[in-house]
A and B are shown apart, each in its own frame.
Chain A
Amino acid sequence: MSHFEQELADLKDTLLRMASLAKDVVNKSVKALIERDDELARAVKEEDNAIDELEILVDEKSVLLLSKAPLANDLRLITVALKTSHDLERVGDEATTIARRAIELGKEPQLKDYIDIPRMTNMAMEMLDDALDAFVTADVNKAKAIVPRDKEVDALNKQMQRELAGYMVEDPKNITRCLHLMTISKSLERVADHAKNIAEEVVFLYEGRDIRHAANLGTDQQS
């Protein structure tokens, strides 16, 4: 393996490390919410710092590699790395948001059983898992299949927002807790978005085709 190929492999590795941390941090934050574990929630913030540092590292390595003027798939790998690191960093941030809200929610009694939130978390985590899997194994079809699943998470989020709005109208004492839960639901929806972005990047990396925004450009006109 040439020196340059080694550096590219190193970049990929760093990204995957970042991804594993991101998954971990989302799972931890939701767990902290469900188990009302403040310690766990605080730990999430620490781990997010590690993710942020990795983003800086990936960006630095990418810029350095770009200065060596790579072409074709090497070039695409680096642009994908830059964007994916950004997506993963944002995932970490969403987990921090969830953790902060979890701490706040821990101060009041639980509003209702958490059913949809774990469901959304699972869906989003599966999407993220599959995207990273496709990245490692170059499975373009797997990546493409992730894109439509985002809509399901979006639907779940909308449902949650409606439900929580209902609770807020019912009883003003619910408002604070509902607002926190709405934020958490939105965060999870965003995590799924980021997973979809990563899937689109993977398709670009291995096929050289840009499949982004196809839904907005014609077929699906739902907002």
Chain B
Amino acid sequence: MTDPSRAPERFRSRGFDAASFFFSGVTGIATAIILGILAIILLNITWHGWDGISLRFIVSGTDQDMFDVNKAGVLPMIVGTSARVILMTIFVIPVGVITAIHLTEYANPVSIHTRIIRGAVNNLAGVPSIVFGLFGLGFFIGFVGGEMDALFYPDSDEPVWGKPAILWASMTLAVMTLPVVIVATEESLKAIAPGLREASLALGATKLQTVAKVVLPQALPGILTGGILSISRAAGEVAPILFTGAAYYMSGYPTRPTDQFMDLGYHVFILSTQSPNIEQTRPILYATVLVLLLLTFTLNIVAVLVRAKMRRGMRQSH
């Protein structure tokens, strides 16, 4: 029954808070700029690429007429990109997670040993992508592949393992995205209350049992986040696969680890630089980029949904 117009004096506002207003304004503008940039990019690509998208475009392969709008198809690239990303995940998640577990659960935080590993991970994160490409070429293809050939196919003239292949490209990408997975896993491990580890150990569990049955299951959402981040990064990278396995043109699809593959990102590069008629090719270019974006989004969304389901499951029962 109180008359709001007669609110007691003491609760009246003391004046206009310029600082808060200004700060809200600044953050609002920053958000708007970022969203704006994202919108511009997406709209630009969609605008130009939409015409090029058709069912045929997505599901058919391509032949040498990749520059012909009517004949181009990106299915091999979709397959190639997806395959290398999945293969990369198979390599990077186990290695990254185990490294993170070692750093968080087992290693002495102040020893030289730990600091060296941490330093290496940090530096790895800063290496330019092209350097990874060269690393892949020199180490995986030249050294590892070469040794494997010497071991298994000593009499062959043609290199079997020592040449660009989807296997080496995936492993190169795995090395590149390792820091992301390690850090994400470490963060999720650190977020787990130490009381849980104590509880498990006090019951007479070994450290391994504790990590495997108590810590890791709880860290899974975080690990998945690391996986999502690494997929997002790797899907769009071209430089690391340039020398290690991407092919200008292939008639078939990669069926063996030693096969090369076609790739969406690389294809965009080819379309831009090798096209005889840039005007004609432009729609294909944009369409390819759009497909790449859609693929990345789809991979991300699937992973996010899986993680959300996992988190919901953890909240209710296990």
Complex contact flag A–B (Cβ < 8 Å): no
Instruction: List chain A positions with a Cβ less than 8 A from chain B.
Output: none
